[in-house]
């Protein structure tokens, strides 16, 4: 059944020690391609956090109230991805209505969230680890915030790295990966304090 | 581009336009599953299966799919194959399936598959698309296997679970932890790109 873990520790663990990006490597594609620019990183981080929290909640409800009772849990991949695509579409419409500025600044990144594996990954982790509803929401929110923190940190570091002399073949993705590696080591430093499994 | 042949596609996907090094696609799973060779092999076989057949299916159906909903149809086709992989893995190699955890499901969001169906299978004949899907995942496979080889050798002292390094070898625990995945990929990228650079200069 649901693991016995406090909300607060789950929250901080999913931001720091079990950061969805640095320890589970999810959402790397957009992480590497977007982090060139601080403002779009910030916008994408916000959007990911928002979508992640909502989709995790809805996916939990769908999984436990629709799929499990009817014995359809092998369909979860399809169902999860459809829920995610639908939520992204809806939030696109809502954001366009409420704030044109935010909508313009997010641009292409909003629809791309559908194929961001971090969102799908959180949904699958919450199902594999048997979180209950509240734990799943906290886990989704924490993972989103962790992803956001990681991308704005990387965007700030890359600004400096871009002006540094880097060996030719290592330029671009190579040096970015090494930077992320160091960030992952720094985040690992927190791991003695909290752990979620 | 000139006439696409089986040979030119293979060369493009395995080397010139390698999905991992050049296009930076499918990085998530590259990093996550490479701490044991066995897991890596099974994961990449799954990706090859899914990419090849999804490309084939999309290419066969391309005239029947309305353009507006093509993304969702592609996703559904990919999910269909991934579900097959998941069920097969759970039936025959349950311990690997457990070790891979959510990453089998995450083949759906592996950008290589989506990229190939979108960029190639949409506009090419079924057999060429099948070949394109298979070769691009082979390009992905050999890089993952190389990374996994180094990580497993130094991290556990084993290859495919067999002890190869002497018993007094101190395992480099860092090699099986997340950061080393980033470093290994960057180092491989460095070597490969350095080689490509040299070739370009010679030309």
A124 vs A6, A88, A135, A174, B52, CA distance in Å?
Answer: 20, 18, 14, 29, 24
Structure tokens at B142: 């050999």
CA–CA separation, A21 and A147 (whole Å): 6
Among A121, A46, A48, which Cα is nearest to A80's?
A121
**How does residue A2 score in pLDDT terms, banded at 50, 70 and 90?**
low
Select the more confidently predicted residue: B91 or B1. Answer: B91
Tell me the per-residue pLDDT of A167-197, one tens digit each, with 9 for 90 and over. Answer: 777 777 888 888 988 988 888 877 766 665 5
Q: Express as a percent the part of chain B with pLDDT over 70.
A: 97
CA–CA separation, B54 and A80 (whole Å): 19
Nearest Cβ partner for A120 among B29, B106, B182: B106
Question: Within an 8 Å CB–CB cutoff, is residue B157 touching chain A?
Answer: no
Among B69, B57, B105, which Cα is nearest to B84's?
B105
CA–CA separation, B78 and A124 (whole Å): 17
**What confidence score (pLDDT) does residue B2 get?**
47
Overall average pLDDT of the B102-130 stretch: 84
CA–CA separation, B169 and B147 (whole Å): 20
Question: Within an 8 Å CB–CB cutoff, is residue A107 touching chain B?
Answer: no
**What confidence score (pLDDT) does residue B3 get?**
61
Overall average pLDDT of the A154-173 stretch: 84
Test A25 with B32 for CB contact under 8 angstroms. yes
Residues sharing a CB contact under 8 Å with residue A5, sequence separation 6 or more, in sequence order: A135, A196
Test B31 with A81 for CB contact under 8 angstroms. no
Structure tokens at A142: 């924490």
**What confidence score (pLDDT) does residue A137 get?**
93
Question: Within an 8 Å CB–CB cutoff, is residue A165 touching chain B?
Answer: no
Query: CB under 8 Å, gap of 24 or more: what pairs does A106-113 form?
Result: A106/A40, A106/A43, A106/A44, A106/A47, A107/A40, A109/A30, A109/A34, A109/A40, A109/A43, A109/A44, A109/A47, A110/A47, A112/A30, A113/A30, A113/A44, A113/A47, A113/A48, A113/A51, A113/A84, A113/A88
Question: Within an 8 Å CB–CB cutoff, is residue A61 touching chain B?
Answer: no
Among A30, A158, A173, A35, which Cα is nearest to B193's?
A173
**What confidence score (pLDDT) does residue A145 get?**
94
Interface mutation vs chain A, best among B39, B140, B182, most A CBs within 10 Å = B182
CA–CA separation, A140 and A54 (whole Å): 8
Test A181 with B109 for CB contact under 8 angstroms. no
Overall average pLDDT of the A92-106 stretch: 79
**What confidence score (pLDDT) does residue B1 get?**
45
Cβ atoms A179, A154 nearer than 8 A: yes
Test B186 with A181 for CB contact under 8 angstroms. yes
**What confidence score (pLDDT) does residue B109 get?**
79
Select the more confidently predicted residue: A2 or A74. Answer: A74
Test A23 with B189 for CB contact under 8 angstroms. no
Tell me the per-residue pLDDT of B132-147, one tens digit each, with 9 for 90 and over. Answer: 889 989 988 988 898 8
Residues sharing a CB contact under 8 Å with residue B13, sequence separation 6 or more, in sequence order: B19, B132, B135, B136, B138, B139
Which residues in chain B belong to E strands, given as ranges? 158-159, 162-163
**What confidence score (pLDDT) does residue A56 get?**
93
Test A170 with B189 for CB contact under 8 angstroms. yes
Cβ atoms B158, B164 nearer than 8 A: yes
Mean pLDDT of all residues in chain B? 83
Overall average pLDDT of the B53-67 stretch: 88
Question: Within an 8 Å CB–CB cutoff, is residue A72 touching chain B?
Answer: no
Test B25 with A29 for CB contact under 8 angstroms. yes
**How does residue B99 score in pLDDT terms, banded at 50, 70 and 90?**
confident
pLDDT higher than threshold 80 for residue B21: no
CA–CA separation, A79 and A67 (whole Å): 9
| Nearest Cα residue in chain A from B34 | A25
Structure tokens at A9: 């520790």
Test B102 with A178 for CB contact under 8 angstroms. no
A127 vs A59, A135, A140, B95, CA distance in Å?
Answer: 9, 11, 12, 18
The ipTM, to two decimals, is: 0.79
> Is the sign of the CA dihedral A39, A43, A48, A53 positive or negative?
positive
Residues sharing a CB contact under 8 Å with residue B136, sequence separation 6 or more, in sequence order: B13, B19, B51, B112, B116
**How does residue A59 score in pLDDT terms, banded at 50, 70 and 90?**
very high
B127 Cα to chain A: minimum distance (Å): 26
Overall average pLDDT of the B17-32 stretch: 77
Mean pLDDT of all residues in chain A? 84
**What confidence score (pLDDT) does residue A195 get?**
60
Question: Within an 8 Å CB–CB cutoff, is residue A69 touching chain B?
Answer: no
Overall average pLDDT of the A53-59 stretch: 92
Specify the residue for token string 């791991």: A191
Test A81 with B194 for CB contact under 8 angstroms. no
Test A170 with B101 for CB contact under 8 angstroms. no
**What confidence score (pLDDT) does residue A140 get?**
93
**What confidence score (pLDDT) does residue A29 get?**
76
Specify the residue for token string 């625990």: B173
pLDDT higher than threshold 60 for residue B202: yes
- Chains A, B: CB contacts under 8 A, how many? 121
């Amino acid at each position: 059944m649901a693991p016995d873990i406090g909300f607060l520790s789950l929250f901080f663990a999913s931001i720091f020690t079990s950061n969805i990006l640095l320890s589970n490597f999810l959402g790397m594609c957009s992480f590497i391609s977007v982090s060139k620019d601080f403002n779009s990183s910030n916008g994408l981080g916000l959007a990911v956090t928002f979508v992640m929290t909502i989709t995790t909640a809805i996916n939990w409800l769908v999984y436990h109230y629709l799929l499990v009772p009817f014995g359809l849990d092998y369909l979860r991949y399809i169902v999860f991805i459809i829920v995610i695509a639908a939520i992204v579409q809806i939030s696109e419409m809502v954001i366009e209505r409420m704030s044109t500025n935010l909508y313009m600044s997010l641009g292409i990144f909003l629809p791309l969230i559908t194929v961001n594996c971090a969102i799908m990954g959180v949904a699958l982790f919450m199902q594999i680890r048997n979180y209950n509803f509240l734990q799943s929401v906290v886990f989704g929110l924490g993972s989103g915030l962790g992803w956001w923190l990681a991308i704005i940190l990387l965007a700030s570091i890359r600004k400096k790295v871009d002006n540094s002399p880097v060996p030719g073949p290592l330029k671009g993705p190579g040096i970015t990966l090494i930077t992320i590696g160091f960030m992952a080591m720094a985040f690992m430093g927190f791991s003695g304090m909290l752990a979620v499994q | 581009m000139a006439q696409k042949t089986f040979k030119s596609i293979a060369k493009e996907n395995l080397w010139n336009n390698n999905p991992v090094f050049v296009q930076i696609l499918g990085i998530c799973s590259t990093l996550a599953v490479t701490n044991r060779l066995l897991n890596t092999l099974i994961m990449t076989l799954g990706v090859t299966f899914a990419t090849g057949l999804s490309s084939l299916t999309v290419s066969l159906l391309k005239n029947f799919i309305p353009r507006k909903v093509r993304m969702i149809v592609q996703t559904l086709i990919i999910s269909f194959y991934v579900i097959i992989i998941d069920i097969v893995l759970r039936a025959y190699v349950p311990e690997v399936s457990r070790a891979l955890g959510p990453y089998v499901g995450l083949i759906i969001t592996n950008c290589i598959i989506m990229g190939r169906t979108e960029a190639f299978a949409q506009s090419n004949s079924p057999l060429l698309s099948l070949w394109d899907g298979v070769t691009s995942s082979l390009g992905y496979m050999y890089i993952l296997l190389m990374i996994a080889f180094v990580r497993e050798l130094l991290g556990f002292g084993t290859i495919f679970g067999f002890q190869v390094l002497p018993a007094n070898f101190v395992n480099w625990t860092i090699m099986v932890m997340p950061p080393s995945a980033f470093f290994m990929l960057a180092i491989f990228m460095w070597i490969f790109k350095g080689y490509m650079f040299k070739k370009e200069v010679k030309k």
